[in-house]
Amino acid sequence: MSSTIKKIGVLTSGGDSPGMNAAIRAVVRACAYYKVECVGIYRGYQGMIEGDFKPMGPRDVKNIINKGGTILKTARSKDFMTPEGRKKAHDNLKESGVDSLVVIGGDGSFTGAEIFNEEFGFSVIGIPGTIDNDIFGTSHTLGYDTALNTVVEAIDKIRDTANSHNRLFFVEVMGRDAGHIALNAGIGAGAEEILIPEEDFGLERLLESLKKSKESGKASSIVVVSEGDKIGKNVFELKDYVEENMPEYDVRVSVLGHMQRGGAPSCFDRVLASRLGVKAVESLLEGKSNFMVGILQDKIALTPLEQAIKGQSEIDMELVKVSDIVSS
């Protein structure tokens, strides 16, 4: 594989997600396979500005494929949002001989990579790492599958106590702008109702659904709520509304929070990370830049970073219909 690329930098940016370490490992080992130097950049773009670099070889990434989080750490960088900060980052890369970047993160990280490419003509490839699965151009982002399994396991445990006490539980899951986690985990855990930002069901429909559940003989119910749902200001307001209108329900709230981001990545996420990491390095060596590597219909696909950032990750309406049918 002929290329002018000599040294590839890899960084993780934005929120962490299970599978990031597996992707770092794949990038480092693909570089070694193709006889290209690799540099780990710590703390994302902030580390780029501060020159926090470390040469990495195959042995530096041993025993990390099973670990959550990111060994390269991550940070949000206000300095990188300024031309001066980006200039300093570019100077540090050039001084270290780094001539291309693999950026593992979400749309904010990709926006930074795209601007960096525009300003300096620097070769960049993105790998989508976010549990929200809200990136256009890939059916799965790194960490999404693991987060789903974590949420389903948590809801299974909550249902045990809901059944024991005849309670209604609102379970809030992550997904500020996208309901993928709520919809898929809700179906997987057998939730009675699922509230997502893409579908404004309204408070009245929620009450109707809960009343039907009660009338059908269900003594307890689980309602999965995406944190970006628009029905109430927050999940606690939903709880108050239901208690006022259905006093027969003993209502509880469980916010799963950051536990969804942690833990060992699933086999699916480990394999996906390995495939995307290798493809990212190969794409750079083939002279490609300003793309995101993703997976579509189980094939690795390249999407221009601009499309990945601006495109909408659509919710599967067939799954919404399935949810309505199986929750009755």
Annotated binding site for substrate: 130-132, 167, 174-176, 227, 252, 258-261
| Contact in structure between 30 and 8 (CB atoms under 8 Å) | no
**37-41 and 123-128: which strand pairing?**
unpaired
16 as an active site residue: the answer is no
Q: Quote the CA–CA distance of 47 and 42 in Å, as a whole number.
A: 5
| Binding site per annotation, positions for ATP | 15, 76-77, 106-109
How far does the chain reach from its first CA to its final CA, in angstroms?
56
Residue 304 host element (H or E): strand 299-304
| Binding site per annotation, positions for ADP | 25-29, 159, 190-192, 218-220
Write out the two tokens for 161: 């106590």
Which alpha helices (H) appear in the chain, and where do they start and end?
A: 20-33, 44-50, 83-96, 107-120, 144-165, 180-188, 203-215, 235-245, 267-285, 305-310, 317-326
Give the active site residue among 60, 79, 91, 132: 132
Using alpha carbons only, give the angle 314, 319, 324 rounded to the nearest 5 degrees.
130
Q: Is 253 exposed, middle or buried (0-12, 13-18, 19+ CB in 10 A)?
A: middle
The set of catalytic residues is 132
